[in-house]
Structure 1
């Protein structure tokens, strides 16, 4: 089965993350895209916020690597399961403030649903992963 233009765009975004290229990753989103992520109380709004989110992730996990399972497409929406692996070697931004590096490895699975516009850019995305499990894998955070 040949990849559709949308599943190819989805794959290109993952490749940009794995190349640690936050700018190219963010360029796969529309300028006014909205991303719902369980780590944030409010959605990320706009390409700049999405790029900054990826910069922060790569700062916290400089060896981050995503693997993606099969992709499913329904109209303009692509869904896929993924696994994020990496080592917590830098500060991680969170709604409660930065979490200092612990050196612990993470292995966190989730799913993402990305809705695309006619130009092949993500206009809305919903990410689902175990944020509490991710924080537990990072390890104990020293009290300040």
Structure 2
């Protein structure tokens, strides 16, 4: 994955283009995300994840921090921000809009193929902290 491919993915998410974001992934990509008990499998599932994200946070924005690459694997820190203005779909059900803003710092580790498509990805972020910022779980 090149710096250009990363920039295109960030631009796609910040432009709220779920299809363009998902196009960075292989058709059979697998994404491990802490919000889901099972991995997302396939480009369509990844696109739907972004559609759901944009429905809940229509003003979402992504900022990428340091990026490291070693062969076919890359790692990056990123910050996601937005305001909870629509229902947030989770495996346990939907959380109605709270109108509250969030900032979530996270990391991602991705493997990609020779075509530059992500084939496997593991996302790491603080789900409990996100829910607390939205006011749907108690802060500790």
1:113 lines up with 2:106 in the alignment: no
TM-score, normalisation: structure 1? 0.92
8 Å CA contact 1:6, 1:78 repeated in 2: no
Unpaired runs of 5+ in structure 2? none
User: Which aligned runs of 4 or more in structure 1 are off by greater than 3 angstroms?
Assistant: none
Q: Which residues of 2 match residues 1-144 of structure 1 at below 5 A?
A: 5-140=1-136
After superposition, give the CA deviation of every residue in 1:30-55 in whole Å (9 maximum; x if it has no partner).
Answer: 00000000000000000000000000
Unpaired runs of 5+ in structure 1? none
SS in structure 1 of the partner of residue 130 of structure 2: helix
CA distance in 1, matches of 2:38, 2:10: 23
TM-score, normalisation: structure 2? 0.95
Q: How many residues align?
A: 137
8 Å CA contact 1:85, 1:105 repeated in 2: yes
Cα-Cα RMSD = 1.0
SS in structure 1 of the partner of residue 88 of structure 2: coil
More strand by share: 2
After superposition, give the CA deviation of every residue in 1:84-141 in whole Å (9 maximum; x if it has no partner).
Answer: 1100000001111000000000000000011110000000000000011111111137
User: How far 1:56 sits from its partner (Å)?
Assistant: 0.2
CA distance in 2, matches of 1:112, 1:77: 10
User: How far 1:7 sits from its partner (Å)?
Assistant: 2.9
8 Å CA contact 1:6, 1:76 repeated in 2: no
